[in-house]
Amino acid sequence: MLTKHGSMLLEREDVKVFDCTIRDGGLVNNYHFTDEFVKGVYDTCVKAGVDYMEIGKNNSPTLMSEDEYGAWNFSKEEDIRRIVGENNTNTKIAVMSDIGRTVKEELLPKSESVVDMIRIATYVHQIDEAIELVEEAYAKGYETTINVMAVAKVFLEDIDEVLEKLSKTDVDVIYLADTFGSFYPEEIKQLTLRYKKVADASGKRVGIHAHNNIQLGFANTIEAMHCGASFLDCTISGLGRGAGNCAMELLLSYLNDAKYDQLPVLKFIEKYIVPLEKELDWGYSIPYMISGQFVAHPRDAMKARANGDMNYVDFYRKMHKNKIDEM
Amino acid sequence: MLTKHGSMLLEREDVKVFDCTIRDGGLVNNYHFTDEFVKGVYDTCVKAGVDYMEIGKNNSPTLMSEDEYGAWNFSKEEDIRRIVGENNTNTKIAVMSDIGRTVKEELLPKSESVVDMIRIATYVHQIDEAIELVEEAYAKGYETTINVMAVAKVFLEDIDEVLEKLSKTDVDVIYLADTFGSFYPEEIKQLTLRYKKVADASGKRVGIHAHNNIQLGFANTIEAMHCGASFLDCTISGLGRGAGNCAMELLLSYLNDAKYDQLPVLKFIEKYIVPLEKELDWGYSIPYMISGQFVAHPRDAMKARANGDMNYVDFYRKMHKNKIDEM
C-alpha cells in the first residue's frame, strides 16, 4: 500500500551495521584476498556509512599456518594499517578471535592498535575461556562482543546459564549467531527477546549474525532488530561460508536512514563481486537449504557444491541418516 | 535452541499449499513447457501432498496468439486432461484468468471440466469486471479466488473499499499479491490482518502470493500465514517471473506436517530444474532487488538480466529517475 514519504521506521540510534565481508568471506577462500579487494571493502564501508568493519580473524601464526591461510586469518597490525592507515573515519575496525586459535598475550594494547573491537567466537563449552579473553581485551582498552555459536543445538536452560555468566562480564555486545542457518523468524524472536532481557538488565547490547541457508538471512536479521538487537551483521552480496550471510545492500536499503548509502555497495558489487562469483561458490542453493533444515554444519553441503553434486535426493537421505545416527 | 521433537507449530487445518510453478513460470518462457515437464510438476504436487496446482492461464485464443504462447497460456480442457486425466487425486487443479484476456462465455460448466478453481488476477481499477467473472465462475460451479495485484501502489483507503466490495461477492479466497516483490514482513503483517478482518466477517479466506526480489518471498509467506492467511502460493525452486516466488521446498519443510513431503520436490528439481537453470533466468539478483526496492514492475530488471547488464549503479540511477518522474 502507499505510505507517507520518509522513513517507514523510527530511526533507531542504537542500531549498528556491522560488515563481516572479509572475515566471513575468508571462510570461503582461506583468507586469500588481494589488498585491492580488502581496501575496496573498507572504502565501501566508509562511504556507505557502515559502523563497523570486521577485517579478519586474529588467529595466532604460532597455531595456524601462514602458508595455508592468507593475511586476514591473522590480521597483524601492520597488515591492517596497510589498508586503513590511522583509520580516521566513522567506521570502526573489528577482528574476530576464535577460542583455541588465539594467544591472548599477542593482543596489543588498544593504544598501539587501529583495531576498535575484539569479537570472540565461542562454543558454549568454551565459555569460560571466552570470558577470560573478553576481560583481557577489555583491560587492554577494546570494545568486545561474544558470539555464542551453534545455539540451535543447545538446550534453552544452558543458553540461559551462558547468558547469566555473560551478564557479569565486561562484554559490550552478546551475539545471537545462527551458525547452521536453521532458525525461523519465530525462533529468532524468542531467542532475541531472551538475550535482550539479560542484556538490558546488565547494560549490554544484543547482536545478530544470520545465515541464508533457508533464505532467511535478511528476514531473521530484521526480525532480531525488531526484537531489540542493535548490532546487525551483514556482508556485501551475502559473501560468506556456505549459503552466506544477510546481504548488506538489502539491509542498508531497509534501514532507510540518511546515515547509510547503498550506492557504494552496488559499485563494489559491480566491480569486485561480479568477477568473484565466477571463482568462488557461496549463497543459497539446495544443499545448503538441506543442511540448514537438518541443523547441520555446512561442511557436507560445501563438499557437494565443490564436487558439482546435484544428486539432491541422495544428499537429503545422507543428511537424514546423519541426523538419525546422532540421536 | 533444542526443542521437543515433533511439530514446532500447531498444524493448521485451514492451510493450503498452492503450486503456481507452471502458471508463474510460464511468464518466463511464454508458457512453452513440454508435456513431460508439466506432467512432472503435476506428479510432484500429488506425491508431495500439495493441495492445489495452478496449471496455467485461461486466456482466450481469440485474444492472444497461439503461435506466440504455449498451451498453458490457454489451458484448454483437452490439454489439461492430457496431463491430469480425470485427476482422481487430492490435488485440485486451478487456472488463472486475467481480466481483459479471458472470455467468460468460454468457461465450461464445472461438470464438464477437471478444473476445480478459477483464480482471477485483477488490478484495482478492474475490480467490477473481476467480480462479474467471479460470479460467472461461481454460478458454473467453481471455487474462486480474486488476486488483487499491485497493492503496493494503492492507497489503503482504496484497498479497504476493494475488500468491502469483495466481501459481498461469492469469492472463496481473497489474495494479497506482492506484485512488485517490495513488501517487508511488517507490511505483510499489516495488510494480511486487514484482509483477514474482512475475510473472517464474510466467511472467506485469505491467500498470499509473494515474490523474492528482496529475498523475502519465503519469509513474507510464513509471516502472512502467522497472521491468518490460509492459501500459501509457492513454486518449485521459486520458478517464476523475475526474482521468482516462495520456494515450495522451503515451505513444505517449514510446515512440518506429515501431510506434506519435500522429497518428491527435490527429485523434480534434480531432474528438471537443474537443466532448466541453464536455459531460463529467474531468482534473486541485484537488478530484481533494485526493482523491488523501487516498487517497480520487473520489466526493466528482466531486460537488464536478458542483456547480461551488470552495470548495477547505472540501473539503480535509472530506476531512481523513473521513480522521480512518476511523482
A1 pLDDT more than 90: no
Task: Choose among B1, B154, B263: nearest Cβ to A2.
Answer: B154
Span of A7-21, A180-194, A271-285, B123-137 with lowest mean pLDDT? A7-21
Distance from CA of A124 to the nearest CA of B (A): 12
Cβ contact A184–B254 (<8 Å) = yes
B9 pLDDT more than 70: no
Residues B137 and B119: their CA atoms lie apart, in Å, by 10
Mutation choice for B interface testing from A312, A318, A320, A321 by most B CBs within 10 A? A312
Contacts of A266 in chain B (CB under 8 A): 286, 290, 312-313, 316
Residue B1: which pLDDT band, with cuts at 50, 70 and 90? low
A326 pLDDT more than 90: no
Phi, psi of A263 (to 5 degrees): -60, -45
Domain spans of chain A? 16-276, 290-326
Residue B71: which pLDDT band, with cuts at 50, 70 and 90? very high
Task: Choose among B8, B191, B253: nearest Cβ to A1.
Answer: B191
Residues in a beta bridge with A146:
A120, A174
Residues B105 and A237: their CA atoms lie apart, in Å, by 50
A117 pLDDT more than 80: yes
A7 pLDDT more than 50: no
Give the pLDDT confidence of B163-198 residue by residue, as tens digits.
999 999 999 999 999 999 999 999 999 999 999 999
**Chain B CB within 8 Å of residue A214 CB:** yes
Residue B262: name the closest of A135, A290, A41 by CA.
A290
Q: What one-character-per-residue DSSP string does B283-295 give?
A: S--HHHHHHHHTT
Chain CA centroid to CA A308, Å: 27
pLDDT of residue A4: 41
Cβ contact A250–B289 (<8 Å) = yes
**How high does pLDDT run on average in chain B?**
95
Cβ contact B154–A215 (<8 Å) = no
Distance from CA of B259 to the nearest CA of A (A): 18
Contacts of A267 in chain B (CB under 8 A): 312-313
Length of chain A: 327
Which CATH number applies to B16-276: 3.40.30.10, 3.20.20.70, 3.30.9.10, 3.40.50.720?
3.20.20.70
pLDDT of residue B184: 97
Residues B232 and A243: their CA atoms lie apart, in Å, by 25
Give the pLDDT confidence of A138-162 residue by residue, as tens digits.
999 999 999 999 999 999 999 999 9
Task: Choose among B226, B266, B312: nearest Cβ to A313.
Answer: B266
B151 pLDDT more than 60: yes
Distance from CA of B326 to the nearest CA of A (A): 14
Work out the average pLDDT over A163-187.
Answer: 97
Nearest CA in chain A to B160: A1
Long-range contact set of residues A148-151: C-beta below 8 Å, sequence gap at least 24: A148/A122, A148/A123, A148/A124, A148/A174, A148/A175, A148/A176, A148/A177, A149/A121, A149/A122, A149/A123, A149/A177, A149/A179, A150/A123, A150/A124, A150/A177, A150/A179, A150/A180, A151/A124, A151/A176, A151/A177, A151/A179, A151/A191, A151/B1
Residue A327: which pLDDT band, with cuts at 50, 70 and 90? confident
pLDDT of residue B12: 85
Mutation choice for A interface testing from B312, B319, B320 by most A CBs within 10 A? B312
Strand, helix or coil at B264? helix
Q: How deeply is A71 buried, as exposed, middle or buried, from its count of CB atoms within 10 A (0-12, 13-18, 19+)?
A: buried
- What is each CA distance from A202 to A127, A133, A168, in whole angstroms? 18, 19, 8
Q: Cell 506428479, residue? A: B43
Give the pLDDT confidence of B202-237 residue by residue, as tens digits.
999 999 999 999 999 999 999 999 999 999 999 999
**How high does pLDDT run on average in chain A?**
95
B86 pLDDT more than 80: yes
Phi, psi of B278 (to 5 degrees): -80, -20
A105 pLDDT more than 80: yes
Q: What percent of chain A has pLDDT over 90?
A: 94
Query: Is the four-CA dihedral B296, B299, B303, B306 of positive or negative sign?
Result: positive
Q: Cell 517464476, residue? A: B240
A16 pLDDT more than 90: yes
Strands A173-177 and A205-209: parallel
Residue A319 · residue A294 · CB < 8 Å: yes
Give the pLDDT confidence of B309-326 residue by residue, as tens digits.
999 999 999 999 998 888
Residue B10: which pLDDT band, with cuts at 50, 70 and 90? low
Q: What percent of chain A has pLDDT over 70?
A: 97
Q: What percent of chain B has pLDDT over 90?
A: 94
Residue B54: name the closest of B223, B165, B173 by CA.
B173
Residues B323 and B319: their CA atoms lie apart, in Å, by 6
Distance from CA of B51 to the nearest CA of A (A): 22
Nearest CA in chain A to B316: A263
pLDDT of residue A5: 38
Contacts of A270 in chain B (CB under 8 A): 310-313
B4 pLDDT more than 70: no
Give the pLDDT confidence of B26-46 residue by residue, as tens digits.
999 999 999 999 999 999 999
Radius of gyration of chain B (CA): 19
Contacts of A313 in chain B (CB under 8 A): 263, 266-267, 270
